[in-house]
Amino acid sequence: MTECYSQTRMEYMTLGLVLSREEGKEADSTLHIYTREFGRVSAISRSLRKITSKLSGHLLPGRIVSVRLVERNNGGWQAVDAVSLRRMPASAETLRFLNFLINTTSLNQPDPELWEKIHELSIKGAVGKDEYIKIIDLLGLGGSIARCANCGGAVAYFMPKDIMFMCRQCFLRSLSSEDEAVNI
């Protein structure tokens, strides 16, 4: 008896914001993209570093892209085609925003409202304190009601890695880097 194992791999086109890109072995790269349809996804892309790769210039952190994703057997994704539509300014502020999203969002959990906000901010090109608080609220982390985790004082910083709020004094005392914190 023979069985047919031929599978149609599902392909999707979606809009997304490229959050990070890590060069892997050979010429492969691992990307994190916050997408409209699937939330944050981890996707590999083959041969991004080869000069001939037309994907390479498009799949860069801070780019809003129209990307074609193919489901992989392990539940991950592969980016097979992409066109960048817009770029956020290449600044420390943008990098902070991208890292913030990597640390606070879950893989493969779509959130249309959050996507709308991300999309809007990518057009604006900057993320202010009020917008961070709105996003932290959207994520269910209580940005507008939070108090300092250490002393209960008024919040001045959010630490995306630890999902923790701090007041100005406790933040300064913690000797954390401004790069690891979001001013809110």
Smallest distance, Zn ion to C-beta of residue 132, A = 18
Smallest distance, Zn ion to C-beta of residue 96, A = 21
Q: Which is nearer to Zn ion, 151 or 163 (CB)?
A: 151
Span 137-176, contacts to Zn ion by CB under 5 A: 148, 150-151, 153, 167, 170
Contact at 8 Å (CB) between 55 and 87?
no
Q: Which is nearer to Zn ion, 69 or 146 (CB)?
A: 146
Q: Which is nearer to Zn ion, 87 or 168 (CB)?
A: 168
Smallest distance, Zn ion to C-beta of residue 123, A = 35
Can you give the binding site for Zn ion, defined by CB under 5 A? Answer: 148, 150-151, 153, 167, 170
